[in-house]
Chain A
Amino acid sequence: MLFNTSEFFVFLAIVLAVFYASPKALRRVILLVASYVFYLSWNYKFVILLLGLTVVDYGAAIAIERASAARKKPFLLISLAANLGMLGFFKYYNFFADNLAQLLRFPPHSWTFSIILPLGISFHTFQSISYVVDVYRGEQKAIRNPIDYALFISFFPQLVAGPIVRAEEFFADLFSWKHPSQEEVLRGVLLVTLGLTKKIVFADQFAQISDSYFQHLADHPGGFAAWSGVLSFAMQIFFDFSGYTDMAIGMALLLGFHFPVNFRRPYLAFSITDFWHRWHISLSRWLRDYLYIPLGGNRHGRWMTYRNLMLTMLLGGLWHGASWNFVIWGGYHGGLLSIERIMGRREFEKKPPLWLYPLRALITFGLVCIGWVFFRAATFADSRYVITQLFHGGKQFQALLPRWMVYMTGVSLLIAIIEEKFEWTERLSRGSAWAYAAFMILLLLTIELIGVTEKALPFVYFQF
């Protein structure tokens, strides 16, 4: 059940209706049942996995809290082993088995299995790990009510692709649940609509161009085609993922939960450091708190900082998918972050003067786009080919982007700049009803007329 289908909206309407019509005591159960129904609609077999990990982590956290300081660690290790073991097996087993086979000169696929990746495993395992580690660190109390904990792991708006919510944020909302305010209701509806617009109007339209380019590279020689394809993918992935996130945040808001912001106009970043403060913020935050800082962060000198940055980004890349291309993508960003550190951290965290901002943003965007090539291309050879085309593709003019999509890009850039300056979508739900309605009507008409509605295309991050 994809967020961009009518079935999902029927499901959401039923959940909202039943949730608010029920007594407060039953609401958590209703949300839990709804979340499992949502997960069941994808693949009923993996519910057992989700349930199993929930039981292990629920038990491990209580055991950690009860145990003396010296005896906490084994429970933490059990939880980590369960989560990383499952993630490792389902997501990375074939990758490592294949590489090992190649290394030992065995025929390819000698030791691989046909493994289906359970939906959302990368997200819910990270969320579980953060919870258990927080309990281990004494920063979070172990949750006693299994329904509460199960809901934290399976809450349907963010189950399959985040944002990765920290336990303290989720349980603060759950334990002192308040009916969403009028403003929150409006903001929730706006975010769901905006997210849907981003997905089916922008992401899915750009996907047609980027898919056509990356799936048939030989048919589209030349630099113009390469830039069209890469720019389209840059647009697709941003609108796809931030659209999903907006919908998730909006739905959570309608149910009285407050999710953290996951994107803050990342293509307006003036450095790669700034980019990672704006892109998939909940993952960056997770990697920082549960990987980079435990590795030592920047506490042990420059070289260790660079090493930690590289390791964090390499693993962050690998988290996205079991392929060397993702590792390269992570390493590329780790390298750029390290270079920025070498050149002076403050310089890349401080907003540049207005006259320099556009140039810095353009350079950053260009660097990010080059990174996307590794993210999107099917193989390393394809990535290398596209990079070569970007810079040495000759002057063959084959621009794949139709003019109206270039305008769409321009309009979205303009909206992003205005949003950066005035945060007007934030204000919209507080301001005049007429302005809100006018904007919503515009979104709905755009969905109706430009949205790809013939076929519901899955969200890119669902595969992770």
Chain B
Amino acid sequence: MRALFTLILTVSGFWAVEFAIFHTGAYSLILRHDSSTGSVETYVRNELKRNRGTARQVLTIGDSRTGFLPRYANDLQTGYQFASIALGGSTPRDWYYMLRGVDPKADRYSAIVIAMNDFEDSEILEDYSVRATDLYYVIGRLKYSDIPYFAKSYQHDPKLEWAAARGIVLKGLIYKRDFQDFLLHPADRIAMAQLARKDSYLWYYNYVGTNSSMEGVEVDWPNRTVTVPVGFTQAQKTAYEYQFLAPRLEYTGVRTAYLHQWLGKIYEHYRVSKTRLIFLHLPRGPFVRPDQPAFNPHSSIRELAHQPGVILLPERLFESIEQPSLFVDQMHMNGPGSAQFSRTLAKEVSHRLDAL
């Protein structure tokens, strides 16, 4: 009996310590603010702490292409207060858990604006359903009760499915890279984490983007060539060639299934609330490929658009931004591009919401 008691004490003690460190948010005191986990936690924390005032709230979410800078939107005084938790490298799976984190009761926002690359569910090279990094992005948001759904979402890769379940139970396994990095310079990390907790909201809010642009870059569609001016590197040219000239992937439905699952999950979260879900089609890039994806009437977004409370913004709303001078690279808007994008979006969203 002594052995049994001691072993039970060991297991329960370990669980208690693990829970206290990783399941209560205590670890975020030393979490690196710009790591994948740290970025999600910082964005969510900042959004929860943000001074809201009395204006109706609109929150934008998306990946690095989103380029929405809330300060430009708020300067317009539309009657809505805009914020963003759009995060580079994040995916719709992450967005669901981030939204659940900032709005657990689905009652804080008039609208959630979700930035999409297109409305056709075009296939991409990576299968997001088995994206291992998602676990790292949202580990701070996951609870024991998420194990079945979250782990199951990796069902196409049993190893990842197991890793996800194990990671939620033993979160330290996921935080370990961060912890080992912490051990390299513990004092600096603690100081940086404290600073980020205090000031990072303003770092992000005041960010205006870069003025660099793709001016001078030319794409010859008939001859399928890209020309770059002096100062651009070969790596940049290769990236442009890939982005603009590589053949489009054939539609298989993989992306639709994935988006259907996670955009559907976000919709479910807000289904009975007053919050509107607004989908926007991001500017397609500094150059618009002639071979645009075919219209897909059964894409996840178009199907969602039939649901009450879901709004699709006009697909060509940001067409004027689709020029080299407003992009920093083949995918991302630069400072002026982001400013124009943010103002256009704020106006359109406020008109739409006012019209309801």
Question: Which A residues are within 8 Å of any B CB, using their own CB?
Answer: 6, 182-183, 185-186, 189, 402-404, 433-434, 436-438, 440-441, 444-445, 448-451, 453
Instruction: Provide the bound-state CA to CA distance between A433 and B1, in Å.
Output: 11
What would 16 A/B residue contacts be, using CB atoms closer than 8 Å? Answer: A6-B166, A182-B3, A186-B3, A402-B183, A403-B184, A433-B2, A433-B6, A441-B14, A441-B17, A444-B14, A445-B17, A448-B173, A448-B176, A449-B175, A450-B176, A450-B180
* Shortest distance from the beta carbon of A454 to any chain B beta carbon, whole Å: 9
Q: Tell me the nearest residue of chain A to B180, going by C-beta.
A: A450
Interface range for B: 20 to 34
Given contacts A448-B172, A453-B173, contact A437 B184 (CB under 8 A): no
Instruction: Provide the bound-state CA to CA distance between A445 and B231, in Å.
Output: 50
Q: Is the CB of B179 within 8 A of A449?
A: yes
B1-27 contacts to A (CB < 8 Å): 1-3, 5-7, 9-10, 13-14, 17-18
Q: Tell me the nearest residue of chain A to B175, going by C-beta.
A: A449
Tell me whether B305 is interfacial, beta carbon within 8 Å: no
Q: Known contacts A433-B2, A440-B10, A445-B17; can you find 18 more A-B pairs with CB under 8 A?
A: A6-B166, A182-B2, A186-B6, A403-B183, A404-B180, A404-B183, A433-B9, A437-B6, A437-B13, A440-B13, A441-B13, A441-B14, A444-B10, A445-B18, A448-B172, A448-B176, A449-B175, A453-B176
Q: Tell me the nearest residue of chain A to B174, going by C-beta.
A: A448
Tell me whether B130 is interfacial, beta carbon within 8 Å: no
Tell me whether B170 is interfacial, beta carbon within 8 Å: yes
* Shortest distance from the beta carbon of A427 to any chain B beta carbon, whole Å: 14
Instruction: Provide the bound-state CA to CA distance between A160 and B14, in Å.
Output: 31
* Shortest distance from the beta carbon of B44 to any chain A beta carbon, whole Å: 23
A438 to chain B: which residues have CB within 8 Å? 13
Q: Is the CB of A436 within 8 A of B17?
A: no
Instruction: Provide the bound-state CA to CA distance between A404 and B184, in Å.
Output: 6
B6 to chain A: which residues have CB within 8 Å? 186, 433, 436-437
B88-110 contacts to A (CB < 8 Å): none
Q: Is the CB of B7 within 8 A of A189?
A: yes
Instruction: Provide the bound-state CA to CA distance between A349 and B193, in Å.
Output: 54
Q: Is the CB of B172 within 8 A of A449?
A: yes
Instruction: Provide the bound-state CA to CA distance between A451 and B17, in Å.
Output: 17
Interface string of B149-192 (1 = CB under 8 A from A): 00000000000000000100010110110011001100000000
* Selected contact of A185 from candidates B3, B10, B13, B166, CB within 8 Å: B3
Q: Tell me the nearest residue of chain A to B179, going by C-beta.
A: A449
Given contacts A182-B2, A433-B5, contact A441 B10 (CB under 8 A): yes
Q: Is the CB of B10 within 8 A of A437?
A: yes
Instruction: Provide the bound-state CA to CA distance between A448 and B179, in Å.
Output: 10
* Shortest distance from the beta carbon of B159 to any chain A beta carbon, whole Å: 11
Given contacts A433-B6, A441-B17, A445-B18, contact A402 B184 (CB under 8 A): yes
Would you list the 10 A-B pairs with minimal beta carbon distance, nearest first? Answer: A404-B183, A448-B172, A433-B6, A185-B3, A182-B3, A437-B10, A437-B9, A440-B10, A182-B2, A441-B14
* Shortest distance from the beta carbon of A301 to any chain B beta carbon, whole Å: 54
A434 to chain B: which residues have CB within 8 Å? 9
Instruction: Provide the bound-state CA to CA distance between A451 and B174, in Å.
Output: 11
Instruction: Provide the bound-state CA to CA distance between A182 and B4, in Å.
Output: 8
* Shortest distance from the beta carbon of B235 to any chain A beta carbon, whole Å: 24
Instruction: Provide the bound-state CA to CA distance between A440 and B172, in Å.
Output: 16
B183 to chain A: which residues have CB within 8 Å? 402-404
Q: Is the CB of B3 within 8 A of A445?
A: no
* Shortest distance from the beta carbon of A397 to any chain B beta carbon, whole Å: 17
Instruction: Provide the bound-state CA to CA distance between A440 and B9, in Å.
Output: 10
Instruction: Provide the bound-state CA to CA distance between A40 and B5, in Å.
Output: 36
Instruction: Provide the bound-state CA to CA distance between A321 and B2, in Å.
Output: 45
Q: Tell me the nearest residue of chain A to B9, going by C-beta.
A: A437
* Shortest distance from the beta carbon of A196 to any chain B beta carbon, whole Å: 14
* Shortest distance from the beta carbon of B20 to any chain A beta carbon, whole Å: 11
A440 to chain B: which residues have CB within 8 Å? 10, 13-14
Instruction: Provide the bound-state CA to CA distance between A437 and B17, in Å.
Output: 12
Instruction: Provide the bound-state CA to CA distance between A320 and B184, in Å.
Output: 36
Q: Tell me the nearest residue of chain A to B2, going by C-beta.
A: A182
A189 to chain B: which residues have CB within 8 Å? 7
Instruction: Provide the bound-state CA to CA distance between A182 and B2, in Å.
Output: 7
* Shortest distance from the beta carbon of B160 to any chain A beta carbon, whole Å: 12
A186 to chain B: which residues have CB within 8 Å? 2-3, 6-7
Instruction: Provide the bound-state CA to CA distance between A84 and B1, in Å.
Output: 48
* Shortest distance from the beta carbon of A16 to any chain B beta carbon, whole Å: 13
Instruction: Provide the bound-state CA to CA distance between A183 and B166, in Å.
Output: 30
Instruction: Provide the bound-state CA to CA distance between A403 and B188, in Å.
Output: 14
Instruction: Provide the bound-state CA to CA distance between A444 and B176, in Å.
Output: 13
A6 to chain B: which residues have CB within 8 Å? 166
Instruction: Provide the bound-state CA to CA distance between A445 and B21, in Å.
Output: 11
A451 to chain B: which residues have CB within 8 Å? 176
Q: Is the CB of A436 within 8 A of B10?
A: yes
Instruction: Provide the bound-state CA to CA distance between A451 and B179, in Å.
Output: 11
B170 to chain A: which residues have CB within 8 Å? 448
Question: Which among B9, B166, B175 has the greatest number of chain A C-beta atoms within 10 A?
Answer: B9
Q: Tell me the nearest residue of chain B to A433, going by C-beta.
A: B6
